[in-house]
Amino acid sequence: MKRFTAILSASVLLLMAQSAMSACPGVLDHKMKNLDGEPLDLCTFAGKVVLAVNTASYCGNTPQYKGLQALYDKYRNQGLVVIGFPANDFGSQEPGTSAEIKDFCELTYGVEFPMVEKTSVVAEQANPVFAELARMTNDTPEWNFHKYLVSRDGKRAFSYPARMKPQDPKIVTRIEALLEE
């Protein structure tokens, strides 16, 4: 009987730990649409390290798509997800429709990481994810390809400026540290 109770207690503790780990942090507790217009529940990324990036198709930083895809390819099996947030907030450099954005990203840069439909990332118009990330970091995007890196538990976020390339050692080192936690 004692053994059964110990096994049951261990099972309950394991379920509680799994439930806590899979709880959706506030920064991801949002539903958006992907570029196909289908619902995308960002809670599906709970427990992963998230790199959220505001993107644009006609920007000097647009080649960063290649680096973002490379990070996704290298670290996704370890728990990294890159999420693109196309925005037309800076210089009108994302004028296209969701279908045009999707075609451009897939055909030009082979983007396979999740992307939401065109949104806003600045000021009062910011989508709820970017509004929360700005609050968490005290930093807002000043241009296309601003990057926010979020810990697995969603309690910590780090901000990186648009000019910093995805393979910058500061970003890669932080990704690797967060993946090890």
CA distances from 19 to 11, 80, 159 (A): 12, 20, 28
Query: What is the residue type of 134?
Result: A
Helix (H, G, I), strand (E, B) or coil at 42: helix
Cβ 112 vs Cβ 71: under 8 Å: no
Angle between helices 169-180 and 64-75 (to 10 degrees): 20
CA proximity to 21, closest of 84, 74, 79: 79
Q: Supply the DSSP symbol for 26.
A: G
**Annotated catalytic residue, options 24, 43, 59, 105:** 59
Query: 43 catalytic, yes or no?
Result: no
* Catalytically active residues, by annotation: 59
